Amino acid sequence: MGSNERRATIINEIGAFIAGKHKWLDYFEEMERCFDKHYVQEEDRKDLCLASLGAKTIKLLKGIVRPQKIQDLDYRTIADKLEKHFYPNPNRRYYLTKFTLRKHRGNETFFKYVSTLRQLLKDSGLASEKLRNHLIENTNRIVKTKIETELMKDDTIPTLSQLFSKGLEVDERYALMERMAKHHRKKRKVRKCFRCNQPLVPNHENVTCPFDWSECEACEMPGHLLAACKYKNIRCNKCGVLGHVTKICKGQKGLPEPPTEAPTDTPADTPADTPADAPANTIPEE
């Protein structure tokens, strides 16, 4: 498929935005889903977005950003300007709708995604249980596959802490790949968060840790994940499994191995039916 054909396909799939008929939040999330589906890079999204808005919305956008020009703005700034225009006084219903529609985008880290959802939960007044269900359904393809294969094999519902741990494992893998791509092979001492074991820079810049709802799987203490627990490399004295302390162990105590008996060697010239206390050269009586 050529570039022009691909561009026309994406624009047709998104559809034109008509102010007054479409809701901007619904339209924007559908546009983001379409961009992720077709692997559209961030620098190419602005052109496709402007082509989908239509003449009336473009005219409206020019008045919103004045004295700036649309050509000087990036894709995210344009989206934020339109959102503030269509929702000038956000209320609880606005944040609730935004939380429900918010998807995990392809180029977005799990840490940033959870931070955004936590803020929307706070503004909308929803319970933390909504966050767990939302993460199971709306994470990106890589995180969802990891959750389904490792946490939901037996149709069990994972805890919020388990979801956090698996999502951060994906973030760490991509961060390692990025460091290797930049040839940063020299180990550096990095300050990490005591709750989630993630680097304080850039993840925690002016942001409180979004994983303070966690409950550790190693010690069952609230406020941190397994990756940040000092007992994560401790072997249980009861079941012998690595990663939790004895006082919270739910497994069975390991059974002692059966004693091994020393083999008794019988002389090669002794018949099988000869008594053990009989001499080897004794002839049986008739």
Angle in degrees, 0-180, between the axes of helices 92-101 and 129-138, rounded to the nearest 10:
40
- The whole-number pLDDT of residue 211 equals 80
Work out the number of other CB atoms within 10 angstroms of the CB of residue 40.
21
Q: Enter the tokens of residue 94.
A: 């606005």
- Give the side-chain half-sphere CA count within 13 A for 52: 28
- The whole-number pLDDT of residue 252 equals 63
Q: What is the pTM of this model?
A: 0.62
3-state secondary structure of 131: helix
Residues of the chain with pLDDT under 70: 1-2, 181-189, 205-206, 252-286
> What is the full DSSP assignment across 177-233?
HHHHHTT--S-----B-TTT--BSTTTTTT---TTTT-B-TTT--BTS-GGG-TTTT
The answer to whether residues 146 and 169 touch, using CB atoms and an 8 Å cutoff, is yes
- The whole-number pLDDT of residue 256 equals 46
Euclidean distance between CA atoms 70 and 46, whole angstroms: 10
Work out the number of other CB atoms within 10 angstroms of the CB of residue 115.
18
Closest alpha carbon to 138 in 104, 185, 174: 104
Q: Give residues with Cβ within 8 angstroms of 92, minimum separation 6.
A: 123, 124, 125
Q: How far apart, in Å, do the first and last CA atoms of the chain sit?
A: 101
- The whole-number pLDDT of residue 77 equals 92
The residue type found at 153 is K
3-state secondary structure of 22: strand
Virtual torsion, Cα 207, 210, 213, 218, nearest 10 deg:
-110
The residue type found at 91 is N
- The whole-number pLDDT of residue 274 equals 47
Work out the number of other CB atoms within 10 angstroms of the CB of residue 87.
16
pLDDT tens for 225-265 read: 888 888 888 888 888 888 888 888 877 665 444 455 555 55
The answer to whether residues 127 and 94 touch, using CB atoms and an 8 Å cutoff, is no
Count Cβ atoms within 10 A of the Cβ of residue 236 and give its class: 0-12 exposed, 13-18 middle, 19 or more buried.
buried
Sign of the alpha-carbon dihedral angle for 6, 9, 14, 20: positive
Euclidean distance between CA atoms 176 and 172, whole angstroms: 6
3-state secondary structure of 173: helix
- The whole-number pLDDT of residue 172 equals 87
